[in-house]
């Protein structure tokens, strides 16, 4: 492809459009979640997933031989 035609394709892609800035305003949090609370919540959720399913998987050999 001749070079001027190829550069025209690049130029149309690289033309950046000016978009007005969105006026976003945020306030400080209404409910603070401390690091301790986050740790508790993460532990509880991980345990919810891992403990019951882990128990079933650990008992599998017992279930097979019953």
Partner 1 sequence: MLGQAVRRFATSAIRSSHYAEGPGKNLPFSVENKWRLLGMMVVFFGSGFLFPFIVVRHQILKK
Q: Minimum CB separation from partner 1 for residue 23, in Å? A: 18
If the CB atoms of residues 11 and 27 are measured against partner 1, the closer one turns out to be: 27
Q: Minimum CB separation from partner 1 for residue 24, in Å? A: 15
| Residue with the two structure tokens 């403990």 | 51
- Considering the rule CB under 8 A, would residue 41 count as an interface residue with partner 1? yes
Q: Minimum CB separation from partner 1 for residue 51, in Å? A: 9
Q: Per the structure block, which two tokens stand in for 9?
A: 């394709």
């Amino acid at each position: 492809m001749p070079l001027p035609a190829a550069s025209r394709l690049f130029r149309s892609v690289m033309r950046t459009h000016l978009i007005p800035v969105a006026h976003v305003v945020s306030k400080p949090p209404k409910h603070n979640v401390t690091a301790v609370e986050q740790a508790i919540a993460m532990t509880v959720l991980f345990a919810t997933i891992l403990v019951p399913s882990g128990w079933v998987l650990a008992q599998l050999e017992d279930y097979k031989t019953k």
